[in-house]
Amino acid sequence: MARINDHYLKLQAGYLFPEIARRVNAFAAEHPEAKIIRLGIGDVTRPLAPAVIKAFQAGIEDLAREETFHGYGPEQGYEWLRQTIVERAYRPLGVELAADEIFISDGSKCDTANILDIFGPDNRVAICDPVYPVYNDTNVMAGRSGPADEQGYYEGIVYMPCTAENAFTPAFPQEKVDLIYLCYPNNPTGTVATREQLAGWVQYALDNEAVILFDAAYEAFITEPGIPHSIYEIEGARRCAIEFRSFSKTAGFTGVRCGLAVVPHELVGRTATGDEVPLHQLWSRRQSTKFNGVSYPVQRAAAAVYSDEGWAQVREVIAYYLGNAAIIRQGLEAAGITCYGGVNAPYIWLRTPEGMGSWDFFDKLLAECHVVGTPGAGFGPSGEGYFRLSAFGSRENVEEAVARIRKRWGGG
Ligand code: MLT
């Protein structure tokens, strides 16, 4: 009989979002009359921008004709998309990348998980708590942890608590770590890192020969000037950081799937015998062996995001979601609920009212307001007592959800 990967059995619960969907579906089956508003998983609701659709359709038309047909593309992405990203996404930030440092993928969730393939099993990993569960769970699956304790912390993983008490700013780990996950703007807390804070992390990583895995999936939601959009805005980051970006939240590609990883040429890791090896070489090898690239029409659609027309349209949608975030935050604050985030991010991170547990609040909100959010505890033990609302709903639903919450908790 085939032997399983026993590490999977250490995982304490099902993946967070399917678990929420399961509970919501059970509630909906029992209460078919309830008009449920879903502000849980950060899934977009606005249609793709017209310029993106046009390019997507043109890509499909190309596949319909022999002269313009495309079969396998380069595993790392088409040169024209990689070059567009260099010029339109990074150069305006003052960041110079080579096109071949950009690897096009089917999204940041997959990239932040798959990147572990190129790192040895003995690396010590540091993650924030609360955190996007993929970083934690994929390391458990890969065998980089022991079992979880009763609080939900896995042995061997270094957790960096982020709560209101430390302004959601992780402290540097006390012990030596090799891989550090940072996500800014942050999922789930919606907070951002200043240039000084990121410079501190870059220095820390260089001093400790650690690699930062920087998830910038929400960078397009930054509204405040001076907040870095990329880790490479920080001097020295090319020698210590891999960055992930996504078209999902930026341009509504959650169902289309496209993202990218940046692996600079200078970035190296060590072999067991201490020799330096460029991580770029390993990631390129990994992708060409395990991945056949993102489909041609999707890459055409992604390139159109950076056309003048596409970018203006995409910015309008982002402004719409940020408008939702402001409505949620203001409405909840009027109800006496303490909120964080929602200014440079599409997530509002709130203190559960009356000191309720996160899952208790989830159940109450669903039962009494028919509103779905995400319990903070689902993102890690330090998320207990917090709750996340997503701003990706329609305006109508967001307004209705806020009105229901205010009616129930006051201020309405
Ligand atoms: C979330 O709700 O945290 C995100 O939608 C998850 C994801 O992007 O995979």
**Alpha carbons 368 and 409: distance in angstroms, whole number:** 11
Residue 177 sits in the same domain as residue 320: no
Residue 68 sits in the same domain as residue 214: yes
In the listed set 308, 333, 367, which residue is the last one of a domain according to the structure?
Answer: 308
Whole-number Å distance, alpha carbon 249 to ligand 1 midpoint, is 9
Closest to 220 measured CA to CA, from 195, 269, 185: 185
Token match 């390391």: residue?
139
Task: State the CATH number of the domain containing residue 372.
Answer: 3.90.1150.10
**Is 2 within the bounds of a domain?**
no
Residue 322 sits in the same domain as residue 300: no
**Is 8 within the bounds of a domain?**
no
> Count of domains in the chain?
2
Whole-number Å distance, alpha carbon 42 to ligand 1 midpoint, is 5
Residue 113 sits in the same domain as residue 30: no
Whole-number Å distance, alpha carbon 63 to ligand 1 midpoint, is 31
Whole-number Å distance, alpha carbon 362 to ligand 1 midpoint, is 17
Cis peptide before 188 (omega within 30 of 0): yes
Closest to 163 measured CA to CA, from 394, 381, 393, 412: 381
**Alpha carbons 63 and 402: distance in angstroms, whole number:** 45
* Structural tokens at position 8: 């999977």
Domain that holds residue 341: 13-47+310-405
In the listed set 308, 331, 357, which residue is the last one of a domain according to the structure?
Answer: 308
pLDDT at residue 206, as a whole number:
98
pLDDT at residue 15, as a whole number:
76
pLDDT digits (tens, 9 = 90+) for 252-303: 999 999 999 999 999 999 999 999 999 999 999 999 999 999 999 999 999 9
- For ligand 1, atom 4, the nearest C-alpha belongs to 42
In the listed set 250, 283, 308, which residue is the last one of a domain according to the structure?
Answer: 308
Residue 321 sits in the same domain as residue 341: yes
pLDDT digits (tens, 9 = 90+) for 188-206: 999 999 999 999 999 999 9
Residue 221 sits in the same domain as residue 339: no
DSSP string for 37-78 = EE-SS----SPPPHHHHHHHHHHHHHHTSGGG---S--TT--
Whole-number Å distance, alpha carbon 215 to ligand 1 midpoint, is 12
- For ligand 1, atom 9, the nearest C-alpha belongs to 109
For the cut 90, the answer to whether the pLDDT of residue 89 exceeds it is: yes
pLDDT digits (tens, 9 = 90+) for 3-42: 999 999 999 877 788 889 999 999 999 999 999 999 999 9
Task: State the CATH number of the domain containing residue 154.
Answer: 3.40.640.10
Ligand 1 pocket residues where CB is under 6 Å: 41-43, 109, 132, 187
Site to probe by mutation for ligand 1, drawn from 132, 218, 250, 379 as the one with most ligand atoms within 8 Å of Cβ, is 132
pLDDT at residue 411, as a whole number:
65
Return the ligand 1 atom nearest residue 390 CA.
Answer: 2
**Is 159 within the bounds of a domain?**
yes
State the first-to-last Cα distance of the chain, in angstroms, to the nearest integer: 61
Return the ligand 1 atom nearest residue 132 CA.
Answer: 3
**Is 228 within the bounds of a domain?**
yes
